[in-house]
Chain A
Amino acid sequence: MGNLVAGANAALTAENPGLSKVMIGLGWQSIPSRGPQSELVPLAIMCDAGGRAVSNDHLVFFNQIASPEGSVAFAGTEDQEQIDVDLSLVPDSVAKITFIVYVDPDLRGPGTFAAIRGQYIRVATAQNQELVRFDIPQSPQDNITAMMFGELYRHREDWKFRALGQGYTTGLRGVAADFRFDV
């Protein structure tokens, strides 16, 4: 299916019959610095049909590395982060899974995406055979403190992937307000 542009989508299960498990790879490069650097944190949010997080337990990140039923799990760091999604185990109440990267809001100079280059998100099979990839276009990111990379979403009986690449200037608090979860 190749490379996507922002806003485009790909029919994962319709074009790959029998696909039940995918691996989401998130990646970027940081420009080295001697001072405090932005620390990017990948986050998967399992959302209901209204676009809200199903619960606080349905946030998957480094300190909560699997959803309650185990359908979404952080699994490795071969990209910057790899997330396994077992589509067959995703609860019916989950309509989409959004993949976000936020800058950790450490009080000591949290930073932004300004020093971040080459962000991407890719979808691969469980055997790491790449299905689709979205290289996020480089643009001024001095005010960006969180970014939606892409999302998996249900479309009738199938699962699709949408490339997003949308930045937040309000960081994790802005993300939490939009997706209605507690931080």
Chain B
Amino acid sequence: MALNRSSIRTDITYLSRRVRPAARDEISAAATFAPAPVPAAAPPSSPAAPAATTSLSLSRSPAPTSAAPNTSAAAPSAVSRPRAAARPTRLFPAPGIGATRLLNAQTPMIRLDRRQSAIGSLLVTGATSAAWESSEHVTGAMSVDGAVSGTTLECSGNRPLVGYVDGTAAVALRHIRELRRALFIGQPFSPLTVEIFDGGTVTLPAADGELRYILSLTAIDGVIELRAEPVPARADAAELWQEFGFSMTTKAAARRQEP
């Protein structure tokens, strides 16, 4: 009988990855409480709605419903959290990092391939602050001068998942599957430049009038999408974190577990 090779779904990792008994129990428990899968939070703009015509309201209104849920220790909400396995794996076509040198209204986003998304460091030059949200919805931010808000994410190699090295923001791509999204904000009238291990670079231009671009990084099943998001040139970092749904996670939960 001929082999049915079409049944091998390499794009669905949980079908091929062996699951340890403990992990299986955890998944079963989560499945008991989990509602229908919810897609990952959508960024404020998309290629279908280019950013040049979009402006953001920075009023301190409640976060939009598409933003990440509040993950502070006071309001744990495992029931409403989307599970990583439920993220879409069939992605729409997008240019790669070699296809453009500039992220702007004409080319608002690019997607890295699986090797580019997983090797070495992703560097962002010109970023004065970096905010992150882990796959477990732990959120934090760091400024270029070392000030930290929320919770830092330490990787197994004793490096922060997102941090700074010599004034340049860096993402540890070995642990890309632990990262859900990140936001890099620069000076209003300075560009942001992204560089990856293979030497590929892309630049977000400096502010032009009332709008400037900040860099949104989204990790979808281990694949990185980089997006230029237009925001008011004068908006500060805290306003932008709120607008993009980054609610800084307190360290209270972690402290309780320390001996």
CB contacts (< 8 Å) of A48 on chain B: these are none
B157 close to A105 (CB less than 8 A): no
Minimum Cβ distance to chain A for residue B88 (Å)? 17
Q: Does A8 contact B (CB under 8 A)?
A: no
B121 at the interface (CB under 8 A from A): yes
Main secondary structure of the interface of A (DSSP, over half): loop
A37–B157 CB distance below 8 A = yes
How far is it, in angstroms, between the C-alpha of A27 and the C-alpha of B110 when the chains are bound? 36
Asked if residues A38 and B121 are in contact (CB atoms below 8 Å), the reply is: no
B24 at the interface (CB under 8 A from A): no
Q: Does B13 contact A (CB under 8 A)?
A: yes
Partner of B13, one of A36, A65, A68, A82: A65
Stretch at the interface among B130-138, B169-177, B251-259: B169-177
B window 153-178: CB within 8 A of A: 155-159, 163, 165, 170, 172-174, 176-177
When C-beta atoms are compared, the residue in chain A nearest to B157 turns out to be A39
Bound-state CA distance A61–B177 (Å) is 13
Cross-chain contact B158 with A37 (CB below 8 angstroms): yes
Q: How far is the CB of B153 from chain A (nearest CB, A)?
A: 14
* A156 at interface by CB-CB < 8 Å: no
In contact, A35 and B158 (Cβ under 8 angstroms): yes
Q: In the complex the two chains form, is A106's CB within 8 Å of B18's CB? A: no
Which of A56, A106, A110 contacts B115 (CB under 8 A)? A56
A129 within 8 A of B: no
Given contacts A66-B16, A76-B18, contact A106 B159 (CB under 8 A): yes
B165, A108: Cβ atoms closer than 8 Å: yes
In whole Å, how far is B68's beta carbon from the nearest beta carbon of chain A? 23
**In the complex, A35→B159 CA distance in Å?**
8
Residues of A within 8 A of B163 (CB): 108
How many B residues are at the interface, by size bracket?
Answer: 20 to 34
What's the tally of chain A residues with a CB closer than 8 Å to chain B? 36
For A89, the chain B residues whose CB sits under 8 A away are: 3, 5
CA distance A68 to B16 in the complex (A): 13
Residues from chain B with a CB closer than 8 A to the CB of A104 are 119-120, 157, 173-174
Within 8 A of B (CB), among A6-50: 33-39, 41
Point out the residue from B3, B16, B155 that lies within 8 Å of A65, measured CB to CB: B16
Most B CB within 10 A of own CB, among A66, A107, A110, A183: A107
Check B17 against A106 for contact (C-beta < 8 Å). no
Judging by beta carbons under 8 Å apart, are B159 and A61 in contact? Answer: no
* Residues of B with C-beta under 8 A to A56: 113, 115
Q: Is the CB of A108 within 8 A of B121?
A: yes
Do the beta carbons of B117 and A36 come within 8 Å of each other? no
- Choose among A34, A62, A66, A69 the residue that contacts B118 (Cβ–Cβ < 8 A): A62
Q: Answer whether residue A73 sits at the interface, using C-beta atoms and an 8 A cutoff.
A: yes
User: CA of A172 to CA of B120 in the docked complex: distance in angstroms?
Assistant: 10
Known: A37-B157, A37-B158, A106-B174. A63 touches B118 (CB 8 A): yes
Q: Which among B10, B115, B198 is the interface contact of A59 at CB below 8 angstroms?
A: B115
**Contacts of A76-95 to chain B: CB distance below 8 A:** 76, 82, 89
Is A157's beta carbon under 8 Å from chain B? no
Closest chain A residue, CB of each to CB of B115: A183
Verify A63–B222 contact, CB threshold 8 A. yes
**A74, CB-defined interface residue at 8 Å:** yes
CA distance A49 to B119 in the complex (A): 27
B159 and A108: CB pair below 8 A?
A: yes
Those 8 A-B pairs whose CB atoms lie nearest each other, nearest first: A70-B8, A63-B118, A66-B10, A107-B121, A39-B157, A76-B18, A105-B120, A104-B174
12 residue pairs of the A-B complex, CB under 8 angstroms, read A34-B158, A36-B158, A56-B115, A63-B115, A64-B115, A70-B16, A75-B16, A75-B18, A89-B5, A106-B172, A106-B173, A106-B174
- Residues on A close to B: CB < 8 A? 33-39, 41, 56, 59, 61-70, 73-76, 82, 89, 104-110, 172, 182-183
Which chain B residues have a beta carbon within 8 Å of chain A's beta carbons?
3, 5, 8, 10, 13, 16-18, 20, 113-115, 117-121, 123, 155-159, 163, 165, 170, 172-174, 176-177, 197-198, 222
